[in-house]
Structure 1
Amino acid sequence: MADRPEDPRTGDHQELMSLLGAWALSACAPEDTERVEAHLNDCGRCAEEALRLRDAALLLQPQGSLDLDPKLRARVLDGCLARRPATQPVPAWAAPLDSEAARLDALLNDITEDEWRTPVELRWFDDHEGWLGRTTTVSGVLDHLLAVDGLLARAVGLPDVLPDAGDDPVARTEARWAGARREADAWRSWREQTQALVRAAAGTGGRTGERTVPRAAFGDPARLPGTGPELPLSDAYLDRAFACWVHADDIARAVEYPYDPPLGPQLRQLVDLAARRLPQSIARRRRAGLAVSQPRLTTAGTPGRTLHLEVEGPGGGHFYIPLDSPVATVSRTAAREAVARLALDDVVFCQLVAGRITPDEAASGGEGDLLVIRDVLCAAAALSRL
């Protein structure tokens, strides 16, 4: 006599049903996979659910089309994690790097062999030399990401793919570009390093700003907010997520593929990182004699004049930027008495910070001291790097 299907009300059924999301993503342990598949032979309801989840999971594979809803990956993963929480969840500050790396990986899977050699222009702004650029290829962009991400990998205890290239991001990129490799090598090395970085973040855990790493490990002190010897590990991860998105967009434009900005909550983290970098950039330009607005002496620790930066869109928010003392905290009184207000779209603000558009192209709504607004726009552009 054949065994009767187990009662759906039993605890065993509930446990196996909770594994369906992980099974659809091929993330079950071997013994759990055998149990789930045996259960699917006897339970029609779970078999239908498993088929639906497996179809959705296939859309998450690199073979998926770029025409997919960009929110699909997040929805499916959220559904799976709701059924069975991750043992080591990716912290919120590393989620943007995880998402942007997955999106870039999908883009790379969709391009043709010839498109790997498509010229890609990288632009940035230098206070003294003006707008600069380098032309590379799709694989050259990955080599650049790999080289600079390697500094973060080394800071969290992972192997550095360029152990002898030092700490300077530009020198590391040049060293990587000097080697001859196949396109697939750059893609594989970048993917493996990024996945290792995300796993390291999951193993580290913690809240935003809780853990720190030496600032000197990243070579360029102007790349990240603050001035102290230590910087938040979360900021280092957000910086690499920002770079991943910007360079993925560079590639997409070069090969004429559509590419959306990050999801709103993650874009908000990248906007916040850029806004926190602004005060130091303003101060550096003023010390170099590049500011067009007049300086104002302030008491040590007070913000002096303040600009209200209003970033619009799903990644936006309100930021109050100190103009005369970069390390000061802006009080409510100083915020209410801001000498200027600047409104920018969230993506436009990030493009300006990345050096993809000029201050004139970014200029949108502004009121108050126009010279201060000009200084802030130029300081945002000066945050860009190769």
Structure 2
Amino acid sequence: MNKPIIHVENLSKAYQIGQIGTGTISRDIERFWMTKILGKDDPFLKIGETNDRSIKGDSDIVWSLKDINFEINQGEAVGIIGKNGAGKSTLLKLLSRVTSPTTGEIKVKGRIASLLEVGTGFHPELSGKENIYLNGAILGMRKKEITRKLDEIIDFSGVERYIDTPVKRYSSGMYVRLAFAVAAHLESEILIVDEVLAVGDAEFQKKCLGKMSDISKGQGRTVLFVSHNMAAVKNLCTKGIVLENGLIKHSGDLEDSLSYYLKNNLQEDELSKIHFEDSPNKKTQILEVSIKDAEENLVSEYFTNQEIFIHVKLKNDFLEENLRLNFSLLDKFENVIFIKRRAINFVGINTWIIRIPKDILIANNYLIGLAIDVPKVKLLDFPAKKLNLKIVDIGQEEFKSGDVDNGFFKMPIEWEK
């Protein structure tokens, strides 16, 4: 049985909003006396609040993280998932010892290599090669170790042409390429990567995911990865931790963690359900439209290997037959890429389900349009607010093979020579 390589117990981090200090000299002295002299908890942190950005708080103390507990075993790849402001980056900074916790403790066995922000550990006036030595030394590498891996680091970074140029002339993408190359080639037991990889291009992101997968599965090292790209997390990680307002809301198997996050964090611009009031003035009307998975759960993102079910609740008081429901799939610019029509003969209220098979749509952002075609009556369009449908890639073979699919549909094309 693997022993935990990272053990976090009752970890909390508090920040003060606005002015530095407690606001008065007497309270500053009280804080100093209680914490530094008597060794007790800060009395002013007890009134602190969790970090919910959507509401106005009453305290100037905010808990970026509050009572975090978890263990990570050697060789595990763990995805830290959550919205902006959930506390993901703060957690990685604490684990990397960039900052210290307010309360709680962290026990780490082994050396940590971390990539948290663009240009961390780089000196702008030094060349790329000089910064490899500098950054490597900061991460704990010896000069002989860096020299032995120098060519490999430069080759992986893809910035060989500019390796003797001061990094102040580098783009943010070149910064990330070089920094990740150094961190990934450090023989550490733990690699921590924040969502800084989003700065890089798609090709380099796939290259990084492949390297991190090799580090975790091939070399048995531990990887902690933060990203808003759910496909990247799914490709790399086997376990997940979901943070919300500085609290752990779910941890465990990655599939369960992703399902929890996607079900409980629908964004306003990623609507999966739209409801309309029944109008007595409309004999035929769309009452509700929702996008669900096979278990009828509302989800904001779907993977390419998932079936998608669009539930359309309709009202019809016309007695005529031959009603048609028009289903259209549009790109993000509202250009129609597919239309399908189906006769829907019924009277009253009924729900129709449109099923999109798995492995048909390529990863992309889509819009769904609906309309009811009533005989001798003008076409009744779906209201202007359309449902967003987001499809993301699935499968590690995709970033390993280097093949790229562009467009909307997966076509069964055969190659011959």
Q: Please confirm whether the aligned pair reaches a TM-score higher than 0.5, indicating the same fold.
A: no
Structure having the higher Rg: 2
TM category, shorter: under 0.3
TM-score by length of 1: 0.28
TM-score by length of 2: 0.27
